[in-house]
Structure 1
Amino acid sequence: KVLSNRRPPYGIYGGLFDALSDTQGKVLLADNTETLEAMRLFEQYEGVDIHPAAGVALASLMKEIKENRLDKKSIIMLNITGGGEKLFMKNHDLYYLKPSLIVESTIEKTKLEEQLKSLW
């Protein structure tokens, strides 16, 4: 659930799908145990906690290295996109905000436009 969206609002040209297609890249997997270990190691060595999605990315890369599946000349992009919350919370209070608008996925276009205009 962390890494997927069954109904993305729009395709992003030049996004991950295009990058993987253009470079003939791979999508890799990691289970929960591998992910948690990767997250623990990242925090231990880098001093920053990371989100599970980033942990999956790191764990799958670690597995590829361990199983000697990478060409040493490969160019690798490791996408660490979220983290640092534990570190931030040590020195800051968090305030959770409620959304100004919650929209159902089945809303009609005109109704959506009305609701969006009401925000301003």
Structure 2
Amino acid sequence: MVSLDARAPGKPDVGGPCNGCGVCCAVETCPLGLLLFRRRKGPCPGLGWQSEYSRYVCGVLADPKRFLGWLPASLGRALVFRWIAAGKGCDSTAILMDVEPSSTSTRAHGSGMTFPGGESDGGAR
């Protein structure tokens, strides 16, 4: 079971446009996350919350310099956009269940993003 901020939008249908619900990255780690964080199961340490937009984002895409400091930011962003299939639509087949939320705790990690549940950022740069 994963816990997401109650202010996040609901999960779109598979194939629908991404709306920043965060379900996909909270449930499993994408191939890029596997490589960067050496973690097989979610939540992905790169999953970031943007409170001003009430949505989740890929922290690696939002701030490539932080995670891929060895690449120029514009190249890092372009590569990450492709690696995570951004803009291709929702590919999460996770089944959601309504449960009573126990907490919406978040932990700040600089650069204006917070990460769910106090998870470590995996030693990200």
Q: TM-score range by the shorter chain?
A: under 0.3
Larger helix share, 1 or 2: 1
TM-score by length of 1: 0.24
- Larger Cα Rg: Structure 1 or Structure 2? 1
TM-score, normalised to structure 2, is: 0.24
